[in-house]
Amino acid sequence: MRIIVNNLVIPVLTGMILFVGCSEKKVKEEEKIWEIPTLGNIERLDPEIDRFIPLDAEIEILATGFEWSEGPVWIKNGNFLLFSDIPPNSIFKWSESDSIRLYLKPSGYTGGQNRDGEPGSNGLLLDPRGRLVLCQHGDRRMAVMNAPLESPVADYSTLADRYEGKRLNSPNDAVYHSNGDLYFTDPPYGLEKNVDDPAKEMDFQGVFLLRKNGDLILLTDELSRPNGIGLSPDEKTLYVANSDPEKAIWMAYSLNADGTLGEGKLFSDVTSLVGREKGLPDGLKVHGSGILFATGPGGVLVFNPDGKHLGTIKTTEATANCAFDDTGSNLYITADMHLLRVRLRNDE
């Protein structure tokens, strides 16, 4: 259901009010003109960014009112976006035609006892069969939904939940290799008391490789807070964000022929920005050109493959993650309470 108040189009959900409307960009709905709100600005540090973000691009607010939005994934077959809202243990669906609606609950914690912290799903992605795969904080596992995307059901199968007999911390973000192998990060953020939680069974935070045959391999335990993760277009480099305020960095690892990590090098260090700008290195996505769109202090930082900072999509909020649509024409951004969109150039 939607109501209209002072030119605002307001989708109404159970227990939550989200809005779309009001500012400088306009859409036509029900033969009336309503305005899409915007915020922030695009900071351009190098002309190369203009190849990807048009000069007239704005940061549009598509929906708001969430507790901590995360993990967006575009669903080509259906033309919609899914994203997590972690504290209320929910996934929402957004589309141009239907606006916003609850898609799935519970999304990350299926236990029977009440718990604090961040129990919901975090990163979302599709496996090679087109099934929804979830980084489940509360259940401390990588899981797959046992239902088609068009008929979501909170019924899941475990892909990985233990390493050498010990429970994972709380899988956070993930990316598939074209061969079906799955890379994911496992920081402590889904544990009720974070790194000091008595239920924590491993004494490290890991980056893992889950082979399609089910073998789970620890790639590195050297990052204090591994978070966002992505592959270069040629799948020869694995990028990993570290969301530690004392070491706010992105690493770039070369991949060996067997998918394990080769040499690692510092890709970018933004520790000096921590505290001056909202946010930490978090989710990231790699454009088909090799350009990285990486959430971090200030919003979404845009890097070329050499690590040069081209500019920042400054969202004014702590920014968690982002995702492209299937055409590369839009970048969807989850930033604290907001779902945002930035139009991109798609003529590369």
What pLDDT, in 10s, does the model give residues 328-339? 999 999 999 999
One domain for residues 127 and 69: yes
Please check whether residue 21 lies inside any domain of the structure: yes
Whether residues 119 and 86 share a domain: the answer is yes
Indicate whether this model's pTM tops 0.75. yes
For 47, phi and psi rounded to 5 degrees? Answer: -60, -20
Query: What CATH number should be reported for the domain holding residue 309?
Result: 2.120.10.30
In a domain, 153, yes or no: yes
Same domain flag for 102 and 10: no
- Tell me, yes or no, whether 174 and 298 share the same domain: yes
Is 322 within the bounds of a domain? Answer: yes
Tell whether 177 and 325 lie within a shared domain.
Answer: yes
Is the residue at 86 inside a domain?
yes
Assess whether 222 and 95 both reside in one domain: yes
Gap between the Cα atoms of 248 and 265, Å rounded: 14
Q: In this structure, are residues 35 and 21 in contact, taking their beta carbons and an 8 Å threshold?
A: yes
Longest Cα–Cα distance in the chain: 60
Domains contained in the chain, number: 2
15 and 101 fall within a common domain: no
Distance from C-alpha of 130 to C-alpha of 193, rounded to nearest angstrom: 34
Residue owning tokens 């454009």 = 287
Instruction: Please report, for residues 115, 121, 144, 160, 210, the alpha-carbon distance to residue 215 in angstroms, rounded to integers and kept in the order given.
Output: 30, 23, 16, 9, 6
User: Would residue 348 count as lying in a domain?
Assistant: no
Statement to judge: residues 73 and 22 lie in one domain = no
Buried b (16+ CB within 10 A) or exposed e, 142-166: bbbbeeebeebeeebeebbbebeee
Which pLDDT tens digits describe the chain residue by residue (348 residues)? 232 323 333 343 434 445 454 333 444 444 444 578 999 999 999 999 999 999 999 999 999 999 999 999 999 999 999 999 999 999 999 999 999 999 999 999 999 898 989 999 999 999 999 999 999 999 999 999 999 999 999 999 999 999 999 999 999 999 999 999 999 999 999 999 999 999 999 999 999 999 999 999 999 999 999 999 999 999 999 999 999 999 999 999 999 999 999 999 999 999 999 999 999 999 999 999 999 999 999 999 999 999 999 999 999 999 999 999 999 999 999 999 999 999 999 765
Q: Are residues 113 and 258 in the same domain?
A: yes
What residues make up the domain containing 147?
37-343
Q: Are residues 225 and 324 in the same domain?
A: yes
* Residues 84 and 141 reside in one and the same domain: yes
**183/179 Cα distance (integer angstroms):** 12
30 and 71 share one domain: no
